[in-house]
Amino acid sequence: MKQSSPNEYLLYTENLGKQFNGITVLENINLTIKKGEIHAILGANGAGKSTLIKIIDGIHTDYIGDIYVKNQKVKPANTEEARLLGIGMVHQELSLVSELNVAENIYLGRLPRTTWGMVHYKKLHQDSAKILQELNMSVKTKEIVSNLSIADRQMIEIAKMLSMNTDIILLDEPTSALTENEVKRLFYTMENLKKQGKGIIFITHKLDEIYATSDRVTILRDGNQINTINLDKNDPDLETKLISLMTGTEQGEIGEIYPAKKNRIGPPIMEVSNFSSKGKFENIHLQIRRGEILGISGLKGAGRTELARAIYGADPKDTGILELNGEIVEIRQPIDAIHHGIGMVTEDRKKEGFVGLLGVKENISLTTIKDVLVNGFLSRKLEREKTQTYVSKLNIRMASEDARVKNLSGGNQQKVVIAKWLCTDCKVLILDEPTRGIDVKAKSEIYKIMSDLAEQGLAILFISSELPELIAMSDRVLVMSRGRIVSELSGTQITKENIMKSTFQESAVQKEVG
């Protein structure tokens, strides 16, 4: 690798590569991170982004090529060695101990001691308060972490990294569970860290986040470094160029991300009346028709997920009636929902959507295991045939039907979860943040699947925090605020301005009344 002035780099790699079981997942990666730079890594699921930063963080140690930190060749054997080198990583799945307080988490495993060997609590809280002040956080050092919001926990992870004197910060999808305001706060912190001379590697699937934060972007595709470019945020074709580099398509071949809407809406299939759960949602009325995609919008905490889980029977409700095809049905638990043709793709697919250690075929058969039994015994042939049907239908990419789902890309994991529900021949499918944590190409495939299912007569309840996809995909949008439906929009009414106006005006009114 030819560097004109390597001293300007906090970190650079030379021909970095990695294999898993003889399969190359990274090859000849030459990455440079400057002082005071936010450097985005962009690529489809499976492009090698997380593998790259895990090598830098000392998680993967069996690799080829070289890593240089401050112009010194290094090879961290574990994350502790990476920390000593000034490298810190904030994972997508947070690693805090919920039962401990903020200060104890910031200095977890490194609590300051007195000369007598006791924990020096005064110094612990003073040092923690200083770091929190640098991050412009008002959280108390003695606050128990379980009481904090996801955004505050994310910031505590960053505080932990800074307490180790890290100069190179690796952020893996840090915004995936944050609201719009929380994302802005995180970006403000990133900008301040940049001003302090820190180097930040930022992985995200959201192009608008790259425009808002990053100085340069490196595009990976199939484990290869396609290009590293300076971001010209005034370039009107920037989004098209990045998608083209990421997907390998020519700029004129990319086409529309969202499928065209079709006239496919039929008669009502499900109606919810007077649904209430104390402290979560109140007096909810909604109706969804065959072939309709009914969007639900609202800020985090508005009650969207809680309502969906109550409809599905995953959480109890206090009051409410649910009708399917005009008949009242009682759904107390998910097995009742499945029996009545209601499926749910939950917000957290890794915890609730699939069993990561099982293969694709086992996961697809989870909800319909009785269909692949012969005389009480599992038929591998029937299970494989069913899997092949849905793998083909949803274009699930994998090494084989036996591939563990945890090893698939996020988009393919989500397709496996959807396939699991299509096997049940469900009539109503609830999708809670179905595109969270997946790349733009996989999102486009999920949108097409949604459109095709709606065209086949399936009713889809679609919860999303991303307004562009909610607007593009929904036939109607219900806006929720503080546990209530405050607005219903349809047709040309479904705009960002109308959704945000309903959300914030109602929130402000209720706050004032309260």
What's the token pair of residue 134? 């640098």
Which pLDDT tens digit goes with each residue over 254-306? Answer: 456 888 887 789 999 999 999 999 989 999 999 999 999 999 998 777 899 99
The single-letter code of the amino acid at 364 is I
The mean pLDDT of 194-211, rounded to a whole number, is 89
Say what the pLDDT of residue 253 is.
45
Checking if the pLDDT of 173 tops 50, the result is yes
Say what the pLDDT of residue 219 is.
93
With b meaning 16 or more CB within 10 Å and e meaning fewer, what string describes 125-151? bebbbebbeebebebebeeebeebeeb
Say what the pLDDT of residue 347 is.
81
Contact 9, 33 (CB under 8 A): yes
pLDDT-derived band of residue 512, with 50, 70 and 90 as boundaries?
A: very low
The DSSP annotation for 334-363 comes to HHHHHHTTEEEE-S-IIIII--TTSBHHHH
Q: What is the CATH number of domain 6-98+166-252?
A: 3.40.50.300
> pTM for the complete prediction?
0.62
Pick from 353, 316, 298: which is nearest to 463 by CA?
298
pLDDT-derived band of residue 205, with 50, 70 and 90 as boundaries?
A: confident
- 6-98+166-252 and 268-513 agree in CATH topology: yes
pLDDT-derived band of residue 504, with 50, 70 and 90 as boundaries?
A: low
Which residue is associated with the tokens 């709606």?
A: 454
* Torsion-angle region of 185 (φ positive above 0: left; ψ -120 to 50: alpha; else: beta): alpha
What's the token pair of residue 180? 């719009």
Bridge partner residues of 15 (DSSP): none
Pick from 281, 178, 204: which is nearest to 39 by CA?
204
pLDDT-derived band of residue 510, with 50, 70 and 90 as boundaries?
A: very low
d(CA 400, CA 208): 35
Instruction: Answer with the residue of higher pLDDT: 457 or 393.
Output: 457
The single-letter code of the amino acid at 131 is I
d(CA 56, CA 78): 10
CATH number (3.40.50.300, 3.90.1150.10, 3.20.20.70, 2.70.150.10) of 268-513 reads 3.40.50.300
Which pLDDT tens digit goes with each residue over 56-67? Answer: 999 999 999 999
Q: For Cα atoms 265, 271, 276, give the angle at the middle one, nearest 5 degrees.
A: 140
Parse the chain into domains and list their residue ranges: 6-98+166-252, 268-513
pLDDT-derived band of residue 460, with 50, 70 and 90 as boundaries?
A: very high
